[in-house]
Structure formats: C-alpha cells, structure tokens
Structure 1
C-alpha cells in the first residue's frame, strides 16, 4: 500500500497538478518507510527490494514548489536514515544506483534546507 501511494504520484511530478494534500499523503508513506529503513532487522530487506530507487524521482525533480520540496526533503530523510548507520551494504547499494546525480540535483534545485540535508546525508 505504501508503494502504491508513492508510485501513484509520479505522473503529477512534472505537472502543476500536484496538490499539497497529495504530497502530504506520500510524505506520510515515506515517513513510515524511514522507520523501516532505519531498523536493523528490516534494512537489508528494504535494500533488497530496491525501495530507495523509488524515491529518486522525488530527488531529481527541478520544480521548487512546496509540495515537491516536501517530497524531496522526506525522501532525503529516508536516505539519511539508511546512511546514518554507516553500513557498507547500504553504501555499496546506494553507490551502485544513481544516488550521486540525484543528490546533486536535490542540491541544485532544492531549498536551503534540502541542500543542508543532502550535504549531511
């Protein structure tokens, strides 16, 4: 259900139709995923399912509207929860994906808070 909520908003990312309410629903789903990502018993399963890759569209958007900024920040929080534990499996997974360009995009187009979160993540 959480993944359906996240994926359902993809088509709104490149259009002005994304509402604050829809963004908040996805942010709530992402907050739950952050708990899964940070827990030692579920982290590996989270990575094996490639869940972080589903967050990359939120990091790579060039839009600076508030709904998209909330998605960007919450996605960065999930990635931050993963890297916080300093696990080589996590780092290897992220480096094998498009995380670096996505974070650079978040730093380029995000708010000052997004830039700060990306740098510390």
Structure 2
C-alpha cells in the first residue's frame, strides 16, 4: 500500500496537477469534475460531512489517491482526529479488514495534516 500514502505532503497538489493535465487533453472528463464540485457543495449536508462520507467510501473501495485527497480536505474543513477515527470505524463495517488496513493509513495521513 505504499506509493501514494507514503509522504502524503504535497500529494493532493500532484493529483490536482495530473487531473488538470488529463482534463486538458480529454475535456469530457471535466464534465465529471464539474459534477463532483456540485455534489460536494454544501446543501442538506455540510462540507465536512460530505468529505467524511467520501473518505469512508474511499477506504471501503481502497482508492489510495482518494484517501489522501479526502483526508486532507476533511482536515482542512475542521475535521478532528476523533471524527477521522469514527469514519474509519464505519468504513470497516462496510469494507472489512482491508478497509481497516487502509484506515490505518488514512489515520496516519490525517495526523500529518492535523500537525500542520
């Protein structure tokens, strides 16, 4: 599970740059990015709740870049260590042991961002 989660500092910037490059070459992917922006905007659920939901799903489906992205985003909007841990617990209910292993990495990433 190395790679993306090791040294997560700056990984979201790298992901953002790669996305912009791909969207530049395949603009139709930008339509999906527009939808994501709308879906993640606060409505009935606030931004923090949506980021925690996204993190839980990322853990359950084992998407390493998504874990880094949504962990940083969750911390940026005020998520606490306890809220990260609760999210990991729910993800483990849905994703079992593999979600727990990825949850450990998400916790490590969260602590890194919380220390900033």
TM-score by length of structure 1 reads: 0.36
Q: Which of the pair has more CA radius of gyration?
A: 2
Higher share of residues assigned helix = 2
